[in-house]
Structure 1
Amino acid sequence: MFIVTAESSIRPRGAYRFTLFPDVAIEVCSQWRRVALASPRLWTHLHIREHLDDDDIALWLSRAGNDALLDIEIDILEPYCGVAYFGITNWAKQVYHIAGIFKFLCSLRAGPQRWRSLSLSVLQPEPLYTLIQLLNEQPAPSLRYLYLCSEPDGSDHRFDEDMPLTKAHYGKAYSLSEHAVPNLRRAGFIYVSWRYVFDRPKPLFSGLTSLDLSSGSWIPPLILPDIQQLLSANPNLESLQLSVGSAASDYESDHLPDDRRPNPVHLSSLKNLSLEGGENITLLWDILSIINAPLLEKLTLSNHGLDVDDELAAGITNYIITGNCLGATAPQPRQPGRCFRIFGNPTLRAYHLMIRG
């Protein structure tokens, strides 16, 4: 009963605070309490959302036992900063607390060697890179899921959405090593700079089955080859979500001409594809054109202010419905050499389609 309650009550990754962990496990009669305390699996999900309480965490982890794999979720957000008595823009303090949490968990034999999943949500990116540096120093061999989110509040003047990466973040110590998470299969990097994700000699991830990337306020001008390279390193992807938000507003003037476009990537296991192109539908078009997913079942396309009369929008819709590329349907296509290959052939499988304007 408690296991079912726990699994259904844990909030979605990335959802903002206030969804409590299933404390029902300790608010029952004494008989059921004994059952809960004797079930280590109930205590393997640790959610730190307010200032670190050493005694509570130690007690919680003692109930999980010494060997069970752990799901760690850390939120250094406004509630945490308030309880810990430091400002939400005090990045040095946030970095200090991340390092302190890491060290404390290791002291309880609950360090990276026992992590099955790790989620960290912060207000600015510095703590993310600190955590990556710590993982490089102490690998997590059993980690299957890594979620990192840095989302400043644009409505608050105290935040700086365009805060650049420092030179240190390009150093080797801050680049996620393949030895740090050798068995990683699912990754979510939300509002993590795409300069950090893509500006490197080889792909940041490989061997994934699920990938969720959301850019910050800027994307590289020639991003398509980088996306193709990353997808090529992850041919077994089953779920792919890419979002660029407002960062793609200038993409149209920078995208590659047809004769320099990378070859499509064959993703034979991909079943769920979600693309959010911000204010520029050209990027949706370009990403679709480098993906071959013959077994795709769910396709979600989103674009801010989509104009149904736009030629590119019409071409995308027509291809999805008929399997014909734009060049076969438009009298004078703006880019006649471009054709989607996403489904592999005009005969589509049953799938779920959502197009949001």
Structure 2
Amino acid sequence: MSSPFASKLGTNYCPLDVEIPEIQAVLVEPLSRLRSLDDRIADLQKAIDELAQERAGVKTYVDAHQALLSPIRRLPLDILQEIFVACLPTHRNCVMSASEAPVLLGRICSSWRALALSSPRLWSSVHIVEPDRAHWPAELQAQRVEITKAWLGRSGQCPLAISLFGDARPDPASTEHRSASVLETLIPFASRWHNISLTSTSSGLNSLSCITENDVPMLTTLEISEIYRSAESPGTRWESFGLLHAPNISSFTFISGNSHPLTLPLQWDRLLSLSLDSSSAFAVTSEMAVEIFSRCPRLQTCRLKVNDEVQSAVEESQGTILGFPHLQSLKIISVGIPINTVGGLFSRVSLPELQHLTLLGHLGREADGEFAFFPFLTTLPRLQSLSTDSQLYDDQALTGLLHALPATLRQFQVICRDSWRHVIDDDALLALTPSPDRPFKCPVLEELKITYSCSLSDEALLKFILARMTIQPVTLRSVEIHFPRQMELDLRPDIQSFLDGGLKVDARYRSPPLPRLSPWVGLKEDYKA
């Protein structure tokens, strides 16, 4: 539609008084047509609403009948049970929550609920959090006990995987009428214990003293963590626990500050996996670690916290080298003096099949000028991964470590925790960087991870990646380094072709602080009462 005011439309033009009647006359016919269109739209919308309502009724009818044809309704019950089992978490035990299987499966429909409740495998694993009696009402404790009984009662005769986290410290006000703990509720099911992890207080764990080795014939994995000991409770006397002497325990984890590890009544010669972490009063020394190894000839995986407060009295020449041909994974957390000393653990053992090694700890006695150095690495012909702590080394010790790395190493990780430690620098990375004029270490290296690198430059990292990706055969797959500084050089343009080919590079930098400039800066506001 043409308008005599077309040039004025969409502007801030203010019409003259004589133009106002002219504009009103121009709008007479359009306003009439607009009302007509609105009436037609209303009629059509009414028809659409009626059709939509009719369609909704037909769709409800169709959906109800199509639901009868749903393929899952025709599945045999045993197949549906397998689907239910596949819904369970595989990396941990099931939790008591309606947001996850198996509880969630019982909330879909009555038939699924009946099937879930009658499927013992769904209830054969559970993680239980025991309420603290000092902070939660007794009713919640009793409710958790009843739920635990009902849960395990549905498991039929299946072997049980149970993890319990309880900080249920005794409440002095309720000692006369103390209700049963969740841990005590588990004892009647001990004959089906298979994989058990218990984190509880010393008073709670004492309830396990009634269990004998004959009560737990199916137990293969046992993890115990003692988290609290009161002045009234001297602790748990584990050396008298028949539970620890169960005939089929092959994996054992023990975290406690109340027992000497060598006094534990384990069937040591049957262990395949062992993890020990004790307080300084009962700490494992290098000498004890050698004794533990000698008791476990079949050991494949081991984690020990070793605390050598004083230099070992055993001289290297006097110690017999013990061979452990089955040990494949070893993690040592070293405190006290450096673990690799004359007569220490690594000068007393031979580990020809070791594939995964983790060495963590701190500098030890700096006054003695001793830093851990591990020449024994050259005696590990099958080592594939090494994770270590920068606090075990000074520059000289790190150089020794890099030269001792075996040619079979595929994963190498250095953990740096302190900003003042400058262990991993350009010279250190140079040892792993291929060059025609010098040999380089770890020719089959696939993964390099350095956390919190303070003195390593972006340029040295770029040279490392380019050199590794241009040698043949190319083995490098992943590089992850965290810098506590801002980016100095953008690596991506030079390595983009390698990234497109599958190389993963995660170089993280500290973000620069954002400038803050407010127009109110410098003003003094007067606040009057």
* TM-score, with length taken from structure 1: 0.66
Deviation per CA, 1:133-173: give whole Å up to 9, x if none.
Answer: 22237631110011100235xxxxxx77xx79949827x63
- Equivalent position to 2:226, from 150, 153, 161: 150
Deviation per CA, 1:223-269: give whole Å up to 9, x if none.
Answer: 3333222222211111100124xxx3xx3424223158643332222
Change (3 A) 1:119 1:351: same
Q: Which letter does structure 1 place at the counterpart of 2:255?
A: I
Alignment of 1:269-348 (within 5 A): 269-282=326-339, 286-305=344-363, 312-313=371-372, 315-316=373-374, 318-320=375-377
Aligned to 2:193: 115
Are 2:244 and 1:182 equivalent residues in the alignment? Answer: no
Change (3 A) 1:262 1:111: farther
Are 2:97 and 1:39 equivalent residues in the alignment? Answer: no
- Equivalent position to 2:158, from 68, 80, 94: 68
Equivalent-residue separation in structure 1 for 2:236 and 2:356 (angstroms): 40
Equivalent-residue separation in structure 1 for 2:192 and 2:215 (angstroms): 10
Are 2:265 and 1:208 equivalent residues in the alignment? Answer: no
Q: How many Å apart are 1:27 and its aligned residue? A: 4.0
Equivalent-residue separation in structure 1 for 2:236 and 2:114 (angstroms): 50
Change (3 A) 1:58 1:253: closer
Deviation per CA, 1:102-157: give whole Å up to 9, x if none.
Answer: 65445xxx5211110222102x43433442x22237631110011100235xxxxx
Change (3 A) 1:262 1:207: farther
Cα contact 1:276–1:302 (8 A) shared by 2? yes
Change (3 A) 1:165 1:289: farther
Q: Which letter does structure 1 place at the counterpart of 2:155?
A: A
Change (3 A) 1:282 1:350: closer
Structure 2 residue runs of 5 or longer lacking an equivalent are: 1-82, 131-140, 382-403, 417-529
- Equivalent position to 1:230, from 292, 297, 320: 292
The alignment partner of 2:215 has SS state of: coil
* RMSD value, Cα: 4.2
Determine what percentage of the aligned residue pairs are the same residue. Answer: 22
Equivalent-residue separation in structure 2 for 1:30 and 1:9 (angstroms): 29
Aligned to 1:26: 106
Q: How many Å apart are 1:177 and its aligned residue? A: 5.4
Q: Which letter does structure 2 place at the counterpart of 1:266?
A: G
Cα contact 2:148–2:182 (8 A) shared by 1? no
Equivalent-residue separation in structure 2 for 1:323 and 1:8 (angstroms): 33
Are 2:315 and 1:268 equivalent residues in the alignment? Answer: no
Structure 1 residue runs of 5 or longer lacking an equivalent are: 153-158, 325-344
* TM-score, with length taken from structure 2: 0.46
Change (3 A) 1:253 1:104: closer
Deviation per CA, 1:1-49: give whole Å up to 9, x if none.
Answer: 443342336269xxxx99x974433343445444433431110113331
Cα contact 1:299–1:351 (8 A) shared by 2? no
Equivalent-residue separation in structure 2 for 1:177 and 1:321 (angstroms): 37
Deviation per CA, 1:201-229: give whole Å up to 9, x if none.
Answer: x8663311111111123235x83333222
Equivalent-residue separation in structure 2 for 1:280 and 1:26 (angstroms): 56
Cα contact 2:305–2:334 (8 A) shared by 1? yes
The size of the alignment, in residue pairs, is 293
Are 2:149 and 1:58 equivalent residues in the alignment? Answer: yes
Cα contact 1:44–1:71 (8 A) shared by 2? yes
Aligned to 2:237: 169
Larger RCO (CA within 8 A; separation ≥ 6): 1
Q: Which letter does structure 1 place at the counterpart of 2:279?
A: G
Deviation per CA, 1:263-291: give whole Å up to 9, x if none.
Answer: 33322222111110135323688222333
